[in-house]
Amino acid sequence: MNPDAEAPVLVELAGVRKSFRRGGETLPVLEGLSLRVRRGEFFALMGPSGSGKSTLLHLIAGLDRPDAGAIRVGGVEITALSEAELTAWRARRVGFVFQFYHLIPVLTALENVELPLLLTGLDRRRRRAHAELALELVGLADRRGHTPARLSGGQQQRVAIARAIVTDPPLVVADEPTGDLDRSSAGEILDLLEGLCTNLGKTILLVTHDPRAARRAHTVRALDKGVLTDAREALDPQCR
């Protein structure tokens, strides 16, 4: 299903382990997980609640660290970076889209999109230009001055996608981005993510429960009890 099986590997995990401590107990979540995602691939991850999907995305995006194993993204072993190096890496190399948007309520759409650029050293004029371009890409240039409360859920998620791509990262990670949206807004978000992949060559890592979302992906895997399996056959073949 991957349109370019020769594309270089962008994300590579080897033997990744992660557990959490809860009370006096250790809860193993990932127990030696390995995974490869190619540049330009649209990769969907499914699996039951609590199976570790968000944990896996956080590790790949450098928001958390594994207990063991290696994670390479774009040739950088992020597990070997210092905190400062990891922060700098994240600012440029990965965009994160959350289920509940996580926009700052007192900032306008444009200011929200501009935020990640404050970590990049671009001057104000360039920051504005990049933020405006990203808002245009998600079709919301005309809402630039609106605060999140004046936008629908679907529009807020489009602003969040603009924020995720404003630094032009090769990798966009989305954790159930359509989970809180009606069917038609969800469709628009999926169109956008698919477009980032096909038109801009972004690598998309999407966690979803929506079979319609997974059907658009090149690769579909399910995470269950710490193991990744091919989930394509679980989808209705009629609708692929």
> Residues 60, 205: contact at Cβ < 8 Å?
yes
Residue 54 interacts with Mg ion (CB under 5 A)? yes
The size of the interface with Mg ion (CB under 5 A), counted in residues, is 1
Build a one-symbol-per-residue string for 27-56: x at contacts with ligand ADP by CB under 6 A, - elsewhere: x-x-----------------x-xxxxxxx-
Numbers of helices and strands, H then E, in the chain: 7, 10
Overall residue count recorded for the chain in this entry: 240
Provide the pairing of β-strand 42-46 with 25-38.
unpaired
Q: What is the total count of residues that contact ligand ADP (CB under 6 A)?
A: 12
Residue 196 tokens, joined: 């980032």
Q: State which of residues 1, 15, 20, 80 lies at the interface with ligand ADP (CB under 6 A).
A: 20
Compare residues 56 and 113 and give the one whose CB is closer to ligand ADP. 56
Q: Could you tell which of Mg ion, ligand ADP, none binds residue 202, using a CB distance below 5 to 8 A set by kind?
A: none
DSSP class of residue 8 equals P
C-alpha 219/C-alpha 198 separation (Å) is: 14
DSSP annotation of 179: T
Q: Find the binder of ligand ADP among 6, 22, 84, 233 (CB under 6 A).
A: 22
Contact 110, 131 (CB under 8 A): yes
- In degrees and rounded to multiples of 5, residue 27 shows phi and psi of -110, 105
Do strands 227-230 and 203-207 pair parallel, antiparallel, or not at all (unpaired)? Answer: unpaired
Q: Which amino acid is at 134?
A: A
Query: Which residue, 54 or 156, is less far from Mg ion as judged by CB?
Result: 54
Q: What value does the CA radius of gyration of the chain take, rounded to a whole number of Å?
A: 18
CB of 209 to Mg ion, least distance (A): 10
Residue span binding Mg ion (CB under 5 A) among the ranges 49-57, 67-75, 82-90, 189-197: 49-57
Query: Whose Cβ is closer to Mg ion: residue 19's or residue 54's?
Result: 54
Residue of minimal Cβ distance to Mg ion: 54
From Mg ion, ligand ADP, none, interface partner of 157 (C-beta below 5 to 8 A by class):
none
Q: Quick one: 52 or 66, whose CB is closer to ligand ADP?
A: 52
Interface contacts to ligand ADP, rule CB under 6 A = 20, 22, 27, 29, 47, 49-55
Interface contacts to Mg ion, rule CB under 5 A = 54
